[in-house]
Structure 1
Amino acid sequence: MLLTERETDEGLLVSVCDPDILGETFENGQVSLTVEADFYDGERVDEERVVSALARASVANIVGTRAVALAVEHGFVDEATVLELDGTRHAQLVRL
């Protein structure tokens, strides 16, 4: 998976995506998501590193079937909140 971590004034912003969807656009009715390289292209890492980053994140954007499944499996994201977008999945995590 591709992982990017950015420190912001609000805390750690994490973006995770499946590498095979980088640059792709997915739609579902009025919702459209482009997996922009500027935001999602990062270090290629294993699942353990993704889980560690999500555990520390204040905000996370997760896109891709595999990436979202990992976030759900580890309890970071509720399956009911996952968006299905034209063949892939998207989820967000916000800790208040």
Structure 2
Amino acid sequence: MLVRERQTPEGLLVSVCDPDCIGETYENGKVSLTVTEEFYGGDDAEDVDADAVVDSLTRATVANIVGEEAVGVAIDAGIIDEETVLDVGETRHAQLLWMR
């Protein structure tokens, strides 16, 4: 999975996606999700395992998660409630906001 961390004035923004999602656009009715290299990939993104994904998500203030594997890791770790996950076309998408 690809993880990218960015420090913002509001806190740590984390993006996580399955590598095969980069460059794809997923649609479901009025919902459209484009997984761009600029947001999810790039030189700052790291190819990591599930433990590193969980570490990043627990430190995040806000996170965007795309892909069956990435969303599954977040659900299995208890970070994302499966009932809040969106099925968009052929993939899954979840957003996270920690209120600290």
TM-score between the two structures when normalised by the length of structure 1: 0.98
| Residue number in structure 2 paired with 1:69 | 72
Aligned ranges 1:47-86 → 2 under 5 Å: 47-86=50-89
Tell me, in whole angstroms, the C-alpha distance in 2 between the residues paired with 1:72 and 1:48: 13
Indicate the percent of aligned positions where both proteins have the same amino acid.
60
RMSD over aligned Cα atoms: 0.6
Runs of 4+ in 1 over 4 A off after TM superposition: none
Q: Which amino acid counterpart does residue 82 of structure 1 have in structure 2?
A: V
Q: Deviations over 1:6-54 (max 9, x none)?
A: 0011111000000011100000100000001000011111111111000
Matches within 5 A, 1:1-96: 1-41=1-41, 42-96=45-99
Instruction: Report the count of equivalent residues.
Output: 96
For structure 2, the residue ranges without an aligned partner over 5 or more in a row are none
Normalised to the residue count of structure 2, the TM-score between the two structures is 0.94
